[in-house]
């Protein structure tokens, strides 16, 4: 183990170097460009054996990844925002063909209007594509989660997206503890693909027409396999903890044992919220934090157990659904808690769209208001657009 300083993008590129995938196909897009740019230097300098394929679009990038993975390769790529949107068609093809591709993603707003800063609209827009999704709170997690995700993906044949918040994490320098190259290689192990399109002794057909006769059964089988990812993730995360000393549960709880209220959030906001929780705890206020690390597949029972202990919970969404009924995390959390024996009063705060800063004062306000909800035993305002001019 050694300590270095790296940005989130550098951390993900470094993890990719230690993984040493067979193929990386990529197209640059801000703010994720650095990941593959740095990795391409590793390729040019002979530090990895990877075949780096520079393509003409993100659609082509993931298409090339699909071909390489079908051929039996260990495959990775990187993108953000409109790049993920352009990959959208191929996301479903990769998942449907059970290809364990891993995307190092930087969360960025979707156009229009054009914005290169952080919110979660890109990955939330692809949440039903059949990919595991992990949200990181800092550069250390970005490094660790990419290694964990690759092993989980290859054990389950489910592709994975590991995301960081644009500029907040991607371009911010942090202290990082990294494993030795040999430790990473030993942890992930030799890749043994379940099949290869280049196996001439056992020929297979990929992408055939699949109509009413068997499509439903094939899709149901994929859904069943996807539901098993959480169990594999928990096992691999524990193995990684034994190696690194860092454990990453699918759902993180912070100072929740005796808390009356909590915030439920994801990404870099969680680390800011922890600072607020610490300050409020010193004042004797019973507040806590629950952080969603894994968003797909949903850790349903874990969410029920974690949130069921509070009187009130504020969900913080860094994207919206256009449904006029709250953000995606809020809507799905409400659904999860619908039949729970114990459930809190639940409100939603949509915040930070287009990279608008979330300040300590904003999170303090959320705790003040959710404590008031708990005290009153009722919700006055279901959805709040936090920090929008003219709505205060």
Going from the N-terminus, what domains does the chain have, and what CATH number goes with each?
A: 2-243 (3.40.50.970), 251-385 (3.40.50.920)
Average pLDDT of the residues in 259-266: 98
pLDDT beyond 80 at 391: no
Residue 209: per-residue pLDDT: 87
User: CB-side exposure of 159: number of CA atoms within 13 Å?
Assistant: 32
Would you say 162 and 149 are in contact if contact means Cβ atoms under 8 Å apart? yes
Say how far apart CA 154 and CA 102 lie, in whole Å. 10
Strand order in the sheet with 132-135: 51-54, 23-26, 75-80, 102-107, 160-165, 132-135, 294-296
The residues near 69 (Cβ < 8 Å, ≥ 6 apart) are 23, 75, 94, 97, 99, 100, 101, 193
pLDDT tens profile 24-39: 999 999 999 999 999 9
pLDDT tens profile 198-230: 888 888 877 778 999 999 999 999 999 999 999
Secondary structure class of 346 (helix, strand, coil): strand
Nearest to 336 by CA among 292, 392, 382, 274: 292
Whether residue 47 has a cis bond before it, omega within 30° of 0: no
Average pLDDT of the residues in 162-187: 97
Say how far apart CA 249 and CA 86 lie, in whole Å. 31
Residue 30: per-residue pLDDT: 97
pLDDT tens profile 185-201: 999 999 999 888 888 88
| Residue that wins the pLDDT comparison between 323 and 220 | 220
pLDDT tens profile 377-388: 999 999 999 999
Say how far apart CA 36 and CA 26 lie, in whole Å. 7
| Surface-to-core class of residue 131, CB atoms within 10 Å of its CB (0-12 exposed, 13-18 middle, 19+ buried) | buried
The residues near 160 (Cβ < 8 Å, ≥ 6 apart) are 100, 101, 102, 103, 131, 132, 133, 134, 149, 150, 152, 153
Mean per-residue pLDDT over the chain, rounded: 96
pLDDT tens profile 102-128: 999 999 999 999 999 999 999 999 999
């Amino acid at each position: 183990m050694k300590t270095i300083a790296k940005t989130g993008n550098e951390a993900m590129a470094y993890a990719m170097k230690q993984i040493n995938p067979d193929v990386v196909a990529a197209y640059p897009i801000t703010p994720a460009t650095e990941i593959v740019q740095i990795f391409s230097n590793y390729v040019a300098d002979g530090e990895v054996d990877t075949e780096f394929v520079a393509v003409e679009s993100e659609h082509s990038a993931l298409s090339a990844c699909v071909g390489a993975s079908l051929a039996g390769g260990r495959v990775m790529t990187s993108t953000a925002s409109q790049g993920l949107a352009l990959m959208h068609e191929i996301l479903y093809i990769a998942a449907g063909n059970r290809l364990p591709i891993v995307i190092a993603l930087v969360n960025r707003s979707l156009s229009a209007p054009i914005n290169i800063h952080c919110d979660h609209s890109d990955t939330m827009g692809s949440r039903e594509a059949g990919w595991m999704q992990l949200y990181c709170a800092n550069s250390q997690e970005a490094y660790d989660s990419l290694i964990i995700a690759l092993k989980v993906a290859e054990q389950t044949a489910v592709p994975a997206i590991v995301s960081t918040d644009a500029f907040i994490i991607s371009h911010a320098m942090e202290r990082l503890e990294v494993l030795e190259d040999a430790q990473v290689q030993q942890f992930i192990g030799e890749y043994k693909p379940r099949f290869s399109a280049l196996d001439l002794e056992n020929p297979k057909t990929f992408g055939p027409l699949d109509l009413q006769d068997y499509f439903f059964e094939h899709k149901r089988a994929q859904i069943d396999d996807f539901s098993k990812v959480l169990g594999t993730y928990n096992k691999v995360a524990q193995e990684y903890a034994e190696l690194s000393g860092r454990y990453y549960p699918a759902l993180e709880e912070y100072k929740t044992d005796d808390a009356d209220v909590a915030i439920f959030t994801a990404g870099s906001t969680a680390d800011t919220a922890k600072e607020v929780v610490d300050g409020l705890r010193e004042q004797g206020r019973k507040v806590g934090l629950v952080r969603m690390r894994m968003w797909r597949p949903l850790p349903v029972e874990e969410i029920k157990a974690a949130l069921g202990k509070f009187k009130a919970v504020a969900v913080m969404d860094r994207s919206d659904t256009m449904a006029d009924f709250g953000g995606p995390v809020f809507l799905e959390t409400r659904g999860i808690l619908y039949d729970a024996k114990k459930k809190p009063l639940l409100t939603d705060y949509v915040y930070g769209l287009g990279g608008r800063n979330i300040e300590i004062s904003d999170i303090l306000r959320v705790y003040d208001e959710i404590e008031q909800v708990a005290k009153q035993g009722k919700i006055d305002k279901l959805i709040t657009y936090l920090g929008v001019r003219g709505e205060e």
